[in-house]
Amino acid sequence: MAYLDNIAVFVRVVELGSLSAAGRDMRISPAVASNRIKELEKHLGVRLLNRTTRQLTPTEHGRVFYDGAKKVLEAVEEAEGAVAALSGRPRGTIRVTAPLGLGKRLIASGIPEFHERYPEISVRLRLSDHDVDIMREGIDVAFKLGLLESSSLRMRGIMDCERVLAAAPAYLARRGEPERPEQLVEDRHDCLMLRFPGTREYFWTLQTAEGPKKFEVRGPFDTDDGDVITGWALEGHGIINKPRFEIEPFLRDGRLKIILPDTPPVPVKLAAIYPHRKLQDPKVRLLVDFMAERCQRMIGEILKGRVI
């Protein structure tokens, strides 16, 4: 078992590029992770990693060993899943990711209840508005708002989520309320954008009488945190494009107002994204089923009593 643990550490180091990152992910210290790599190299009689001050990269031997080691770990995981399914006692660890707004409101709050139902399943949740590389970072399932972009992944749609454009009354009083979507560009409205390296959302797609239309909106500042954007809007700094369920309480109490209700943004799909083989794992399937039902129920409850 120690040898298998050493292999698992090596695989995570290669995937994450550092001992400290792999250690955090596996809940061991960098020193322990380093010792496991050294034991593995001693056993194999070759150097597996090139060590620099900034990053660890696999040697030629390391790349070859990584490919085989990854298959070994996947085979062990599948075998354990088959045994768990047969015994009726799912167990193990699930790595989950979700964007900040969705994760805080719907996913994180459901994990304790899921663990109560299945106490032998551990969940490691990572919340980030960045586009996480599911395959590289060893994620089992990602709950996200958006479309599937990689053929190496599979998607289970959960529900379509309405999006709205909204702003604080103070902003609209100062800048005027646009009556046509073209005014977002023509009047140089302050549109608050979610951006980070690699993002593609430099425009908003609205539903018009002629069909979906892209508008290259601009704004004075942007961020990689969706909740920060909402905060800026509440303070009167601009217009946001958000899933309605995320800002429904602020619409209900009047702190935000929907604009251009006749040409709203194109809805976004809430989905579970996972490597194609992962939904065969009973514990992952249980989590996806649990969260899908929970998200549908909670979003429905949040939207009760909606206002425009």
Instruction: Tell me the whole-structure pTM to 2 decimals.
Output: 0.72
51-54: long-range contacts (C-beta < 8 A, 24 or more apart)? none
- Whole-number pLDDT of residue 151: 58
Tokens of 213: 């239309």
307: phi then psi, degrees, rounded to nearest 5? -130, 160
Question: Strands of 92-98's sheet, edge to edge?
Answer: 121-127, 92-98, 141-145, 268-275, 153-161
Tokens of 63: 């790349």
- Whole-number pLDDT of residue 253: 93
- Comparing CA positions, the residue from 39, 84, 139, 12 lying closest to residue 283 is 84
Residue ranges of the chain that CATH labels 3.40.190.10: 89-161+268-308
- Comparing CA positions, the residue from 163, 169, 162 lying closest to residue 253 is 169
Highest mean predicted confidence (pLDDT) among 135-139, 211-215, 254-258: 254-258
Tokens of 69: 């080691």
| CATH architecture, domain defined by 89-161+268-308 | 3-Layer(aba) Sandwich (3.40)
Percent of the chain with pLDDT over 70: 90
Q: What is the mean pLDDT of residues 57-73?
A: 86
CATH 1.10.10.10: does it fit domain 1-86? yes
Count of Cβ atoms closer than 10 Å to residue 128 Cβ = 14
Least confident of 137-146, 203-212, 236-245: 137-146
pLDDT of 307 > 70? The answer is no
In a 3-state reduction of DSSP, which class is residue 301?
helix
The CATH class for the domain spanning 163-266 reads alpha beta
Distance of CA 285 to the CA centre of its chain: 17
Residue ranges of the chain that CATH labels 3.40.190.290: 163-266
- Whole-number pLDDT of residue 250: 95
pLDDT averaged over the chain? Answer: 86
- Whole-number pLDDT of residue 292: 94
- Whole-number pLDDT of residue 243: 92
Confidence band, pLDDT 50/70/90 cuts, at residue 225: confident
Highest mean predicted confidence (pLDDT) among 35-49, 58-72, 179-193: 179-193
Residue ranges of the chain that CATH labels 1.10.10.10: 1-86
